[in-house]
Every structure is written in C-alpha cells, then in structure tokens.
Structure 1
Amino acid sequence: MHGKSEDRDDYQLVPRPVAAMARDLPDGHHIPPHSHRRAQLIYGTSGAVTVTTDQGIWVVPATRAVWVPAGVTHAMTCTGAVRMRTLYVEPSAAPSLLTGPLVVSVSPLLRELVEEATRLPIDYELDGREGKLMDLLLLELEPEPVPALHLPAPADPALVRLCSAIRESPGARWTAESAAACAHLSTRSLHRRFSAATGMTLAHWVRQAKLVHALTLLARDAPVTSVSAELGYATPSAFTAMFRRAVGRAPSAFYRGAGESGVRE
C-alpha cells in the first residue's frame, strides 16, 4: 500500500514503537510457523484468520484480532479473502499485552486507527498528528478473553492425536467412549488427563472445536443450514442456540457485526 513493503522483516528494526503493514491475502493462504523480535497484532478486516501456536488455536473474524508476543512461534491460515492489517509493536510499548497470545477486541475506532496506521510511512513523524495517532492506537489495544474462539492445545501425545481427530471431524458423535478408544485410554483416564492438559472437559473442547469450524465455514459464506448439518446438529435452530450462547450473537449476524452485509441463514 502506497509503496510500503509487504515483507515482515522490514518492520522489525524500525526506530518507531509501532510499524503497520497491509497485505491482501486469498482464501486458504497459509503462512508457515515463524517468529519475530516484535510483538504482532494479526487482524483481518474481512474473512477470518486462524492463528496456531504451541499454546493453542485462535480463530478470529473482523471484530477481533490476535495478539502474539515477541518471540512466540506462530502460523496463520486465511479463510475467505483476508485484508490483513498487521501491527508490529515494540514489546515495551504495550506492557499490558505481554503475557501470552490473546484475543483483542477491535472496536470501530481501533479498526480505523489500524487502517490509517497502514497508510503512514514506516518512519512516521513522532511529533504531530502521526505520532498522536499511533499513541491512541496503543491505548486502544485492550485484551478481551474470548474462550469461545480458542482451542487450547494439549502436550500429552495421546490427547494430541485425539484433538487432531476431533478437529478433522467435529460433526462426529464424540462420546467419552469413542474419544477414549481414539486415545487408547480408559474413559476415567481420559477425563482426568484431558482436563489437566487443556483446562477444559472433553465435552467443552468438542463444543469449542465445533465453534471454530463453524466460524471458518461462515467466513466462506456457508449458509447456517449447511453449517449446522456438517457439525451434527439436528436442526439449524439447535446450532444457532449453541452459537448464540457461546459468542453472544446469532451466526447469521456474526460477520455482519464486522461491517459485512448479507444474511447467511
């Protein structure tokens, strides 16, 4: 945009607290695992972005972004065409966001600030409008825990296999017995080890996996009827009720909340 680089390495050593980069990425675009010296705000103003780290998986639509601290290895996959707007931030400039990967709520104001930041030169003026805009942007970066969009990753090898199987087939009927068989564990051992490894019950993790999958399907404009069927719900209304309880709005309205139009039901 306006001649600015689309190479992340060009944004790591600039003498400014924030550097903003714009890239338009196609559906399915994948960025392999990598890390960098600056913290990163990963945000797409369209579609959805899946961010994977050793700590888990986050899926975010255009109303939210993922904060990745400096040095944390992460990968990224686009669902739908994603207009990615990335901030690279000196860790000392955002001390409230140093703890680990987390989700940041993107308000209409923050969205416009990020868009404007990508239009500024990398060596923007620290004094005057440009510097004040970046200062306000940093003030607007507030963490928002969104457990409905997060799948914690277990380190236990038996549970890694099970969780991969659930993610591949979230619409299957995952009972305690079928999950235990997949993990080669007794149901008692499964429940104990699963809760210890993920902080969630098996049933909660399966529900989260369904939500994460639903978000990627909805980002590709799949109708709610087909999403609910693929995820194993008896009726679209049952899926909609679960989705609304988890994320606070109906699936047909979820992406419209990011400024998109169209009803997907």
Structure 2
Amino acid sequence: MDRKRVTGPEVSVAPLLKAQETAPLLDSNNKRHDQRSMDAIRPLFLKTGLVTQSNGSAYIEVGNTKVVCAVYGPRQLKKAAFSRNGTLNCEFRFSTFSCTKRRGHIRDTQEKEYSHILEQALAPAVRLELLPKSAIDIYINVLENDGTSSCIAAAIIASSVALADAGIEMLDQVTACSAIYMKNQILMDATDKEEQQKDGSIVLSYMPSLNEVTHILQTGQSDSAITSQAIEQCIDGGSKIYSVMSSALLQSLETGVAA
C-alpha cells in the first residue's frame, strides 16, 4: 500500500451545480439596472496630468471602467531608416486584477489586437508628417474592466486627450463611443453584465470638428438597418463626449497658467 499518497474514494459523484438564470436587462419601463435608458451613456470623469514623468497623460472613468494613459515623445529614431512620416506606437494592457478572471503579466493576443486598433483609430488625427524619423509611444493600462467595448472606447478618448496634453499637433480630437446589439435592440455604453448577453457590438471612433469617422470595430451579427442606427447613435454619443474632453483640456491649461 502506498502510504505517501492520499487515496481517493472508489466511487466519485459529479457535483450538483445550480444553473444560473440570466436576468432581463430591461425592466417594464425599458430601464436598465442602473436606471439608464437604452440610448444613454454613463457619467464620465476625465483628468489630465496624472503621470508626471510622461510628456502627456490622462485618466478616465466611465462608470466602473477605469483607464490611465501616458504619452512619451516625440523621440528620434536613431537606428531606424529615414521616413518622411513619424510612427505611432500603442501598447494596450489589462491589469492583472482588472477583469473578473485574473489576467497574465505577459501580453496576450487580445491586448495586441486592441493595441493595433488604437493605432488605426488615432493615426488619422495625428499630424505624423510633421515628425519625420520620430516616434510617439502611447501606453494604456486598464485598471478596471466593466465592459470590453467601453474599455476600448475609453482608451481611445484617454489617448487622444493625452496626446493633446503632450502638445502634439493634431487635426482634431478623437472621441469614441460603444454600443451592443441584443434582440434587435441597441444598448449604448454597455456594462460587463450586459455584454454577456449581447449578439454583437460596435465601437466607433469619430472626429467631431471634421465630421469624419476614423475607425469602426464591429463584432457579431446584425441587420444593416440596426448597424446604421447604431453608427448614428455612436456619433451622437461621441459629440457629447467631445465637450467633456475639451473641458478637461481647458482646465489643464488654466491650471498650468496658474502654476
């Protein structure tokens, strides 16, 4: 008999697990759990100058979603070949404690994909032709994740404000807004619990002053009419967020002048 091992029971029984029932997202008055309507976005808090060692930084809270962004540069590329346009490097990271399931320390494929999405959304607004043989580094860290789509939108907003805070010339601020599809209904700025029942999602990046869309990320299946309506609602939501971004930048300028 092996005394060094703990012998298990001869007969094993599968545990009884209670099936989790999904609660409806809308009540009888078409209100969500946080008493928002379907086309309402969560309150937004935005502040610049959080990371003092960087050239520009921004911190954003959208409900329980918390994202911090730092911008370094522009810096000269010494070993790279000459290029007429500068390069924009983005690094998107989830903190290990930010999600329901603990994340790893090494960047996974999802974080690399989101980094590429941020580069595509921000590059049309930054005047990279004025920065030959230079690079701008953007680092985004998600402190708390309350909806993956809202995290991407919050990261785009924080990155745009951090670039402006760093004094980098841009054509316009890039704002972003997200929405999900559920049973031919559109829910703006969904939370993590709402995204668990989604049929699809969309994240739209938009420059309000130029009235140009820089990037659209859509997942899942939906009708063309629902997609068009979601794009219009995201543009409307981005225009509302643009005023908050402008107010945060003006406040940072007033604080710098006073200092």
- Give me the TM-score of the superposition, normalised by structure 1: 0.27
Higher helix share: 1
Higher strand share: 2
Q: Which has the larger radius of gyration?
A: 2
- Give me the TM-score of the superposition, normalised by structure 2: 0.28
